[in-house]
Structure 1
Amino acid sequence: MSRLAPLVFPAAGPRHTATVIFAHGLGDSGHGWASAVENWRRRQRLDEVKFVLPHAPVIPITVNMASLGGSAESLRGNEDEAGLVESRDYFQKLVQQEVDNGIPADRIVLGGFSQGGAVALFSGLTSLVKLAGIVGMSTYLPLSLKLESTYIPKPASANVNAQTPIIMCHGTVDPVLPFQLGLLSKDHLVKLGYPVEWKEYAGMPHSAVPEELDDIEEFLHKVLPPSGGGKTEL
């Protein structure tokens, strides 16, 4: 897949000690989340954080609403496994670029909205390096039936993200990726032992609201606290 270079927001302060890589949803681009990043930068709680917003090619994640029936079977049947793996590899490449530039992997967060959130969850849970956190907004856990058997690093001691903090946010009236699907994904992760912080927003469709963006900011501030170290931005 050919990709445009990501949209990059350097750390707002004089030090760059952490990075957030955040992927957009279907039909959008990295520019669609620029205003959220700019708002976080204005509030000056994430001054040491660089934001990387990839422009992803389309990954066909579709939901047959008529046959979903609360089981998510139709969604699983439409998952593009090869595309998800390729996108995971691209996320890992972006992480490695940050590591090569001096940012420890455990100061890097993967996140995303909708299909971007699905890729972020899958990429973070299967990462071979320890991350600071994972953010999933209005999304679900892809390849859930194969996650443990095929993609989670083995043995258990190699699963370096087994205790990596995860936040999942979902609107109660989402018509694209239903609320119940997000809830089932959260429950599945909890059953596997992952620490998931769940946030739900009454009346929110397939979008984001200020309260949710505040919750994401709080999560990022918690998992990427100011360190005072890092490299000076020019």
Structure 2
Amino acid sequence: MSAKFLPLRIIKQTSNNPTGTVLFFHGSGDTGDGVREWVKFLVQDFQFPHLQVLFPTAPLRPYTPLDGGFSNVWFDRLSISPDVPEHTETLDEVCTDMVDFIKNEVIQKGIPENRIIVGGFSMGGALAMHIGFRHMPRIAGIFALSSFLSYTSSIYKLPKPSSELPPLLMCHGNRDDLVPYEWGEQTFKTLTTQFGVKGEFQTIPNALHELKRKEILLLQEWLNKQLPP
């Protein structure tokens, strides 16, 4: 296991041998343990008989929005705004490391690529979209909760794929005061109209930049649909 993503928190499947894996990436400044506890607080039985759910922790790195202070973030960004270009160096680095991690920790243990789903909250959802749409287009799906892509994202610069991309579930609070609702909605519209991505966009009423029980239940149902026993 790559030391860059320790500690790795897990919600284990209830049967002996998992037939699928879900990777859940936390938001900026959080940890795998933090988002795992948040999910379990909202839905205590967030568990699957046939799936293991992994919660990696991002490396500690300088983060420009904190004036260069260190934080557990997947990649750097110059500011939290849709029209700011992506920080290509750190984004490409973490995508390469995470794809290697998935291949070493999941695929080599017998889980095929089409039985893997990646997703996350906020920055974690952005990372998941980069992994799935740019690097691992044969995975079973992507989920992005309160998430975003820059208006000039490298994903949007990809050629239109010849085959279908992974399905996408996005959920976004309509009162989000950090990543505005319209930003998340525009991300989904661009992916569906420009690249033919199939999926659904769920509005979470009265939610700020946070996870809510309703969306975790939606996610649980969607995961079972995309990765049935």
Q: In structure 2, give the amino acid aligned to 1:179.
A: Y
The corresponding residue for 1:54 is 56
Q: In structure 2, give the amino acid aligned to 1:53.
A: F
Task: Tell me the distance in 2 between the aligned counterparts of 1:96 and 1:166.
Answer: 21
2:26 pairs with 1:33:
no
What does 1:148-187 align with in structure 2 at a 5 Å threshold? 148-149=156-157, 152=158, 156-157=161-162, 162-187=164-189
The corresponding residue for 2:210 is 207
Which residue of 18, 25, 40 maps to 1:16? 18
Which residue of 171, 194, 199 maps to 2:197? 194
| 3-state SS, counterpart of residue 90 of structure 1 | helix
Q: Evaluate the alpha carbon distance shift between residue 207 and residue 128 of structure 1 in structure 2; reply closer, same or farther with a 3 A threshold.
A: closer
Q: Evaluate the alpha carbon distance shift between residue 215 and residue 93 of structure 1 in structure 2; reply closer, same or farther with a 3 A threshold.
A: same
2:222 pairs with 1:225:
no
122-131 vs 179-188, which moves further? 122-131
Task: Tell me the distance in 2 between the aligned counterparts of 1:43 and 1:145.
Answer: 32
Give the TM-score normalised by structure 2. Answer: 0.82
Which residue of 6, 9, 12 maps to 2:8? 6
Task: Tell me the distance in 2 between the aligned counterparts of 1:81 and 1:133.
Answer: 24
Q: Verify the 8 A CA contact 1:95 1:105 in the aligned structure 2.
A: no
Q: Evaluate the alpha carbon distance shift between residue 12 and residue 61 of structure 1 in structure 2; reply closer, same or farther with a 3 A threshold.
A: farther
Q: In structure 2, give the amino acid aligned to 1:51.
A: V
Which residue of 155, 159, 175 maps to 1:147? 155
Post-superposition offset of 1:88:
1.2
Which residue of 120, 125, 133 maps to 1:125? 133
Q: Verify the 8 A CA contact 1:40 1:217 in the aligned structure 2.
A: no
Q: Evaluate the alpha carbon distance shift between residue 183 and residue 173 of structure 1 in structure 2; reply closer, same or farther with a 3 A threshold.
A: same
- Deviation per CA, 1:186-218, whole angstroms, max 9, x where unpaired? 110011210121001111000011111000001
Q: In structure 1, give the amino acid aligned to 2:191.
A: L
The corresponding residue for 2:63 is none
Q: Evaluate the alpha carbon distance shift between residue 38 and residue 20 of structure 1 in structure 2; reply closer, same or farther with a 3 A threshold.
A: farther
Post-superposition offset of 1:145:
4.2
| 3-state SS, counterpart of residue 55 of structure 2 | strand
Q: Evaluate the alpha carbon distance shift between residue 143 and residue 106 of structure 1 in structure 2; reply closer, same or farther with a 3 A threshold.
A: farther
2:126 pairs with 1:110:
no
Post-superposition offset of 1:12:
1.9
Q: Evaluate the alpha carbon distance shift between residue 210 and residue 39 of structure 1 in structure 2; reply closer, same or farther with a 3 A threshold.
A: closer
Q: Evaluate the alpha carbon distance shift between residue 39 and residue 209 of structure 1 in structure 2; reply closer, same or farther with a 3 A threshold.
A: closer
Question: Structure 1: 5+ residue runs without aligned partners?
Answer: 227-234
Q: Verify the 8 A CA contact 1:41 1:47 in the aligned structure 2.
A: no
Question: Structure 2: 5+ residue runs without aligned partners?
Answer: 60-72
Task: Tell me the distance in 2 between the aligned counterparts of 1:52 and 1:24.
Answer: 11
Between the two proteins, the alignment pairs up a number of residues equal to 210
Task: Tell me the distance in 2 between the aligned counterparts of 1:34 and 1:22.
Answer: 8
The corresponding residue for 2:89 is 82
Percent identity of equivalent pairs: 28
| 3-state SS, counterpart of residue 186 of structure 2 | helix
